[in-house]
Amino acid sequence: MVKIPEQYLDLLAREKKAFAALSLVLADGSPQVTPIWFDWDGTHIILNTARGRVKDRVMRRGGQVALLILDPANPYRYLQVRGKVEAENEEGGYEQICDLNEKYHGDRNYPKRPGEVRVTYKVLPEKIAHSR
C-alpha cells in the first residue's frame, strides 16, 4: 500500500462528495470507464455495485483498477489511484450503498430494487499520481 499525500486526503473525505471515474479492462482487452461513488476507510477505497453489472463482473475477477478522483471545486486538481481489488463482499452491501447515498445525497434511503444484490469491493492503493 502507498500513502495518500496529505494535501489530497480531502478528496477522499465524506464531506467533499467527489466522484471517481473507475477504469477497468474488459475480458476482450477494451477499456471501460464508469463514474462511481466511493468511500475511504483509511486504507482502502470502498466501491459498491450490483451483481451482474459490468464493473461487478470485471472487479470480481480481481486484478488491477484505476480511479481518477476530481476535486469538484477545481477539476484541474485530481488524485489518480491505481490498485488491486483485495476484497469482495455481499454481506452489508445494501448498508454500504445506503452510506454512500447519505454521503452524496444526504439521505440513507437508497431504493431497494427487487432481486438486486449489492456487493462491496475494497481496492488497496498501490500507485498514486496527482496534479501539481
Q: What is the pLDDT of residue 109?
A: 93
pLDDT digits (tens, 9 = 90+) for 36-75: 999 999 999 999 999 999 999 999 988 899 999 999 999 9
H-run or E-run covering 33: strand 31-36
The span from the CA of 110 to the CA of 96, in Å, is 10
Number of other residues whose CB lies within 10 A of the CB of residue 87: 12
Give the model's pLDDT for residue 24: 96
How many angstroms separate the CA atoms of 48 and 60, rounded?
A: 12
- Could you tell me what percent of the chain has a pLDDT over 90? 94
Q: Average pLDDT for residues 111-125, to the nearest whole number?
A: 95
Mention every residue, 6+ apart, whose C-beta is less than 8 A from residue 28. Answer: none
CATH topology of domain 6-130: Pnp Oxidase; Chain A (2.30.110)
Across all residues in the chain, what is the average pLDDT? Answer: 95
Query: pLDDT by residue (tens digit) across 13-44?
Result: 999 999 999 999 998 999 999 999 999 999 99
Query: φ, ψ for residue 93 (rounded to 5)?
Result: -65, -40
Strand arrangement of the beta sheet that strand 45-50 belongs to: 31-36, 20-25, 64-71, 74-89, 118-130, 45-50, 39-40
pLDDT at site 49: 97
- pLDDT (0 to 100) of residue 35: 97
What does the alpha-carbon distance between residue 15 and residue 123 come to, in Å, rounded to a whole number? 20
